[in-house]
Structure 1
Amino acid sequence: MDIVSWFDINNTVVNIPIGSGYAMSWIEAIGTIFGLLCIWYASQEKTINYLFGLINVTLFAVIFFQIQLYGLLLLQVFFFCANVYGWYAWTHPAGSQGEALQVRWLARNKLMLTLLLVIVAVSLLTLYIDAVFFTLASWCVAALNFLGLTVQLPSLQPDPFPLWDAMVTVLSVVAQLLMTRKYVENWILWVLINVISVGIYAAQGVYAMSIEYTILLFIAANGTRAWVKTAKYNGSRHAFAQEGAI
């Protein structure tokens, strides 16, 4: 098997006997494994999660290119950039004291602002999701053609789940950004995202993806538990240090 054929989504590694059957390709299987490793090591606060995340989003970008989901392809570009930034932020000191990032909760004012922005963004994207993704698809096709690839704009259909897809899209962006700054709330959002994703994929009959997101749900729940514990420890240590400085 040569390199080019390995990236082909029609190069099946296993047929999963779920529903009417699901042919999983090599690239999807490997991309999924790296995605699971990324989330698991992130839940353990291990910086290597970003390496696995970069591989995951790159492979999934190739998949979305082949199946002509250009909106999701562009979302992978955002995740790629967020992973690069997160890797940098986790490994470089921050602030005037030169301290490394610590797992912590969002301050109340930041939490309220984040919730407001999420509500507004989800509401707007729900109303205009087809126009937004059709436009993004057109931009992506134009960019790919500019790079020398011959790509035709596919026949795009209206989104069957505009509210849920808008929530997953917006919350995924926010959760990824919160993770790069080590805020506990990112895991709570990933739990919600995975619950919604399990329901969407099950409703569409894509049971293999539904099972995958069920696994991610349990990893995100474990990440929430671990980071809440770490944030509590960091908060207690910070309070003790302040008392000692008085």
Structure 2
Amino acid sequence: MNDTLLLLGFATTPLELVSFVLALITVALNIRQNHWAWLFAIISSAAYGFVFFESRLYGDMGLQLLFIAISSWGWYHWLHPKSGVPVLPVTWLTPRGWLGSAAGWLIGFLLISWLLSSTDTDVPHADGFLTAGSLLGQLLLSRKKIENWIVWIVVDILYVGLYIYKNLTLTAILYAVFVVMATIGLLAWRKAAPAAPDAMVLK
């Protein structure tokens, strides 16, 4: 059902291929600030959860479950912003938001790495660092913070190396494409945001 197949010379599985396509659609819709991106994010996360389980990337597998919860929350907030405006605006983090985000990434890294050390994964620290970073990126995305794209650029570059190491070649290619798409997203959202970076405090 999910046997290995060759695609353009790369080894993959039908499930990884489906996850690949869904993830591309998700990011493309996020760049356009289309709320249907969250639906594709939920489906893609569920599919990738199984892919990562088979590769013993338990941090990434657990992350997909969190992504599903955050995507549901983000979808609601994109459609029902508390500010009373019809659409949640794109905004920048304040210095306080930057500090809180960095601290959250560090704490998440230490906690997740510690938890993964008790499993049979061979990359607890890399998996923990990138899992924590991905969680931060998704949270910032759900609040339409421009900095989410900066986090994703850093995380996606590092994920390329991790997935090559885990022989998830197609997913490595996907994350290389994500680096380009995140850069496009950063540029597009900067045009849509207020000039002042202190327009909204991270909530």
How far off is 1:203 after superposition?
Answer: 3.9
Residues in 2 aligned to 1:70 and 1:128: alpha-carbon distance in whole angstroms:
10
How far off is 1:120 after superposition?
Answer: 3.0
Note if 1:158 corresponds to 2:122.
yes
Which position in structure 1 is the counterpart of 2:46?
58
Which position in structure 1 is the counterpart of 2:134?
172
Residues in 1 aligned to 2:41 and 2:131: alpha-carbon distance in whole angstroms:
17
Q: Deviations over 1:35-78 (max 9, x none)?
A: 01101110111111111111111222233455565543332111
Which position in structure 2 is the counterpart of 1:73?
61
Which position in structure 2 is the counterpart of 1:151?
none
Residues in 1 aligned to 2:14 and 2:167: alpha-carbon distance in whole angstroms:
21
Note if 1:26 corresponds to 2:19.
no
How far off is 1:191 after superposition?
Answer: 0.4
From 3, 9, 29, the equivalent of 1:17 is 9
Note if 1:101 corresponds to 2:81.
no
Deviates more, 1:175-184 or 1:118-127: 118-127
Preserved CA contact (<8 Å) 1:9 1:66: no
Preserved CA contact (<8 Å) 1:94 1:100: no
Residues in 1 aligned to 2:148 and 2:85: alpha-carbon distance in whole angstroms:
24
SS at the partner of 2:141?
helix
> How many percent of aligned residue pairs carry the same amino acid?
25
TM superposition score normalised by structure 2? 0.84
Note if 1:228 corresponds to 2:190.
yes
SS at the partner of 2:33?
coil
Deviates more, 1:38-47 or 1:206-215: 206-215
Residues in 1 aligned to 2:58 and 2:129: alpha-carbon distance in whole angstroms:
18
Greater RCO structure (CA 8 Å; 6+ sep) = 2
Preserved CA contact (<8 Å) 2:140 2:148: yes
Q: 1:194 to 1:99 in 2, by over 3 A?
A: same
Give the aligned CA root-mean-square deviation in angstroms.
2.5
How many residue pairs are counted as aligned between the two chains?
A: 198
How far off is 1:175 after superposition?
Answer: 0.6
Preserved CA contact (<8 Å) 2:41 2:71: yes
Deviates more, 1:203-212 or 1:218-227: 203-212
From 137, 149, 152, the equivalent of 1:190 is 152
Preserved CA contact (<8 Å) 2:16 2:171: no
SS at the partner of 2:170?
helix
How far off is 1:94 after superposition?
Answer: 1.2
Residues in 1 aligned to 2:32 and 2:108: alpha-carbon distance in whole angstroms:
30
Preserved CA contact (<8 Å) 1:9 1:63: no
Which position in structure 2 is the counterpart of 1:113?
100
Q: 1:70 to 1:122 in 2, by over 3 A?
A: closer
Structure 2 unaligned segments of length 5 or more: list them. none
Preserved CA contact (<8 Å) 2:59 2:128: no
Q: 1:58 to 1:44 in 2, by over 3 A?
A: same
